[in-house]
Amino acid sequence: MTVKAANNAVEFPGLEILQRFDVPGPRYTSYPTADRFKKEFSPDSYIKVLSERGEKHPNATLSLYVHIPYCSNICYYCGCNKVITKDHGQSKEYIEVLGKECDLVSKHLTGNRIVEQLHFGGGSPTFLDNEELTLVMKTITDRFQLSESAEISIEVDPRSCPPEKVRHLASIGFNRMSIGVQDLDNRVQIAVNRIQPYEMVKATLDTARDSGFKSINMDLIYGLPFQSRASFKETLDKIIELSPDRIALYHYAHLPEHFKAQRRIEVADLPSTPEKVSIMMDAITRLTENGYHYIGMDHFAKTTDELATAQINGTLQRNFQGYSTKPECDMVALGASSISKIGPCYAANARDIPSYYESINTGELATIRGYELNDDDQLRYRVIMNVMCQFEIVKKDIETQFGIHFDEYFDYELKALKHFEEEGLVILEKDRIEVTPKGKLLVRAVAMNFDRYLREDERVRRYSRIV
Ligand code: SF4
């Protein structure tokens, strides 16, 4: 089965190959992956990185991420870092501390740092009421200079975002949103404790469009309890009719030993692996036949959307929010558990709220770990991003940028990739490496060949698979 789309094709490699090559692996929203970050990287290290970046690149543009960790109800499949509460006293305090963190960070951001992207994620940012959302936006715009054309996006839970709140979001500057849908089948929704009828989702989307939102994304999940090919087809029919600009189709990884909420999901209710694969392939077929470009991993975008254009232009990038169209921006992340990337450095905040508060309230940044990429890391970062985002490595481009001889430097990796070539998952040419349509669903397994750290230990077991 081959699915063609404009400038794009993805092919089912067969269940046997999928299971053999789909080893647990990272999603490469960073390289090295966050579990390699070092605890020696302190708040002072982060301050130094911010200051030096301002001196050397005073006009480097910024992408801001704001983490809002609260949700009113638990979704049983959830593996995010969040706090379940209905108490807005907690979010009130969080916003105050967020303001202090903005003060601390912006003090060290010298130069003319214009914000091109601002994203609110969580948790569930629409947990905040209108007044709180306005306050957070003011907190940001008082300290950072937003470009007039800035992409300002928010993750939206339709249950906490009725039309009136959507209009409010537009009025305070939001122009993009990602709506959490997951599945529209009532039985599935009950089983995962996330009940949001189709009409509710449609009202959120319609109001967003009427209010001027662009590039609206919808998140779906396959592999949830009681899903079948037939039930998910119905969900997908409705989603295609709603016609969001982007769709993310995530795999549910059942890891109850890591995520307590998942213990509320009965293993017996989950679809079998062949059923899950069929659901996934049906979805890819339907979406690519209906005007969506397969971006990679879990993402689809209309061929006119910026994500698809960025992939075609070779400027697509991955970061902690998934795929991004702004590779040149430094990422300043605010809030508990958020991770910044400034030039070739990562800085991670404390994950839990009390530790985050303790640092910020004593006038210190909440950095607990981080990483400065060395020359080899930067080279591998570029190669892995090319595989993940473009499905291709042009050796000459890498050689020119890093002053290496590709085949000599990656002799070990090229030998390992022979195994993939034999199964038709990659094409190894003299001047380039290409992930074939058959290899696209296994792209992270291809990328893992270039990850130096994965060779060194057994942490790979902690990651999930695609089916
Ligand atoms: S899935 Fe989203 S809304 Fe549900 S508990 Fe997790 S973070 Fe909250």
A 10 A CB-CB count for 402 gives 16
Mean pLDDT of 9-33: 90
DSSP class of 110: -
Residue partners of 354: CB distance under 8 A and separation at least 6: none
Place of tokens 């209906």: 290
Output the pLDDT for position 75: 98
- pLDDT of 43 > 80? The answer is yes
- CA neighbor of 377 nearest in space, from 31, 98, 125: 31
Q: What angle do CA 357, 363, 367 make, to 5 degrees?
A: 65
Token pair, residue 332, equals 């300043």
Indicate whether residue 82 lines ligand 1 (CB < 6 A).
Answer: yes
Alpha-carbon gap, residue 428 to 59, rounded angstroms:
39
* Residue 5 pLDDT class (50, 70, 90 cuts): very low
Residue partners of 99: CB distance under 8 A and separation at least 6: 139
What's the 75 CA to ligand 1 centre distance in angstroms? 6
User: Do residues 319 and 331 touch, judged by C-beta distance below 8 A?
Assistant: yes
Three-state DSSP at 182 gives: strand
Token pair, residue 184, equals 């529209």
Alpha-carbon gap, residue 71 to 84, rounded angstroms:
5
Three-state DSSP at 269 gives: helix
Tell me the pTM. 0.94
The separation between the first and the last C-alpha atoms of the chain, rounded to the nearest angstrom, is 18
Q: List, in sequence order, the alpha helices (H) in 219-313.
A: 229-242, 273-289, 306-313
Output the pLDDT for position 465: 63
Find the range with the poorest average confidence among 38-52, 123-137, 148-162, 317-331. Answer: 317-331
A 10 A CB-CB count for 115 gives 20
What's the 14 CA to ligand 1 centre distance in angstroms? 33
Strand pairing of 317-319 and 322-324? Answer: antiparallel
Mean pLDDT of 211-224: 96
Alpha-carbon gap, residue 161 to 141, rounded angstroms:
23
Mean pLDDT of 258-275: 95
Output the pLDDT for position 203: 98
Mean pLDDT of the chain: 94
CATH 1.10.10.920 positions along the chain are: 1-32+374-456
Output the pLDDT for position 466: 59
Using CA atoms of 415, 372, 326, 404 in order, give the dihedral in degrees to the nearest 10. Answer: -40
Token pair, residue 201, equals 């989702």
Superfamily of domain covering 36-334: tm_1862 like domain (3.80.30.20)
What's the 156 CA to ligand 1 centre distance in angstroms? 10
- pLDDT of 3 > 70? The answer is no
Mean pLDDT of 444-461: 81
Indicate whether residue 132 lines ligand 1 (CB < 6 A).
Answer: no
CATH 3.80.30.20 positions along the chain are: 36-334
Instruction: Name the strand (E) or helix (H) holding 373.
Output: none
Token pair, residue 459, equals 């942490």
Quickly name the fold that domain 1-32+374-456 has: Arc Repressor Mutant, subunit A (1.10.10)
Output the pLDDT for position 467: 62
What's the 79 CA to ligand 1 centre distance in angstroms? 8
* Residue 330 pLDDT class (50, 70, 90 cuts): very high
Indicate whether residue 75 lines ligand 1 (CB < 6 A).
Answer: yes
What's the 281 CA to ligand 1 centre distance in angstroms? 26
State the amino acid at position 287 in one-letter form.
L
Output the pLDDT for position 321: 81
Each residue of 154-202: pLDDT tens digit? 999 999 999 999 999 999 999 999 999 999 999 999 999 999 999 999 9
**Partners of 52 in beta bridges:** none
Instruction: Name the strand (E) or helix (H) holding 346.
Output: strand 345-349
Quote the percentage of the chain above a pLDDT of 70.
96
Alpha-carbon gap, residue 321 to 192, rounded angstroms:
23
* Residue 456 pLDDT class (50, 70, 90 cuts): confident
Three-state DSSP at 457 gives: coil
- CA neighbor of 259 nearest in space, from 464, 1, 398: 464
Three-state DSSP at 462 gives: helix
Site to substitute for ligand 1 among 68, 78, 179, 224, most atoms within 8 A of C-beta: 78
Residue partners of 145: CB distance under 8 A and separation at least 6: 113, 114, 115
State the amino acid at position 249 in one-letter form.
L
Three-state DSSP at 400 gives: helix
Indicate whether residue 79 lines ligand 1 (CB < 6 A).
Answer: no
Indicate whether residue 393 lines ligand 1 (CB < 6 A).
Answer: no
